[in-house]
Copies of this chain bind each other. A is one copy, B any other.
Amino acid sequence: MRESSLNAPFEPVDQPADGPRLNRRQAAKVRTRQKVLDAARDLFSERGYDPATIRDIAKGAGMSTGAVFANFQDKAELFEAVLAENMERLTEVVRASAASSGPVKERLTTALDAGYHHTMGHLPLMQAIVARSWFQPQQAEQRARGFTKGLLSVIGEVLRDGVRSGELKQDVDTRLVGDMVWDSWLTNYRGAAYDGWDEKALSERLSRQLDVILAGAAAKG
């Protein structure tokens, strides 16, 4: 019975197009898991990591804590699932906004501003993501790098286009410069968290950081 998924504009979450068909019981399990994930995302987005308890996540999903633990080993695993989902959507948003041609700075600001726009509604989640990235087991770090790989490659593509078009110097280390762009983008969330920066302030700050970073990478006209 794949009809609904063939006709629907988006694949329903319990019936992935490229996965095996699920029987009723398996489909119910996937739905339950997604319900927990949705409740966890809501709570992490509102409170961050530490103050979000499994108890409240279960409550948000309308389940027992036992049902949560039947799906996720612990809060760390639940957070990682939310992180993976979050980074996937963010990467899509940023990639779509970077797709146009044009000068490097314009493409980067358009793409990364879209990233701010997409994430500012869940600032505590973003803070928790960065905070946890500073103290996690090596394996979790390696998985987390997998989740940000797509975003870094979007930035890298724009920079490499800039090198190809002659806008940037031929010997620019696009990997290093890409990391610096990404770190600047991310660091600015501290201004949102503690100084009340809104999207406009974040965007202005990023624009000035990009001016500094790209000025050193620009081919002399």
Binds B, one of A15-23, A55-63, A91-99, A179-187: A179-187
Q: Does A209 contact B (CB under 8 A)?
A: yes
Whose C-beta in chain B lies nearest to the C-beta of A133? B190
Of the candidates B127, B138, B176, B212, the one whose C-beta lies within 8 Å of that of A134 is: B127
- CB pair B127 A176 closer than 8 Å: no
The complex is assembled from copies of this chain, and their number is 2
Report A45 CB to chain B, min CB distance, Å.
14
Q: Give the interface segment out of A6-14, A26-34, A35-43, A213-221.
A: A213-221
- Find chain B residues with CB under 8 A from A184 CB: 180, 183
Given A213-B212, A213-B213, A216-B211, also A135-B141 (CB < 8 A): no
Q: How far is the CB of A207 from chain B (nearest CB, A)?
A: 11
Judge whether A173 is part of the interface by a CB distance below 8 angstroms: yes
Q: How far is the CB of A32 from the nearest CB of chain B, in Å?
A: 30
Chain A interface, DSSP helix/strand/loop, else mixed: helix
Q: Which of A187-205 contact B (CB under 8 A)?
A: 187, 190, 193-194
- Range of interface residues on A (Cβ < 8 Å): 20 to 34
Chain B residue, CB-CB nearest to A212: B216
| Chain B residue at minimal CB-CB distance from A134 | B131
Interface residue ranges, A against B (CB under 8 Å): 48-50, 127-128, 130-135, 138, 141, 173, 176-177, 180, 183-184, 187, 190, 193-194, 208-209, 211-217
30 contacts between A and B (CB under 8 A): A49-B135, A50-B135, A127-B134, A127-B135, A128-B134, A128-B135, A131-B131, A131-B132, A131-B134, A131-B135, A133-B190, A134-B134, A134-B190, A134-B193, A141-B194, A173-B208, A176-B209, A176-B212, A180-B209, A183-B183, A183-B184, A183-B187, A211-B216, A212-B213, A212-B217, A213-B213, A213-B216, A214-B216, A215-B215, A215-B216
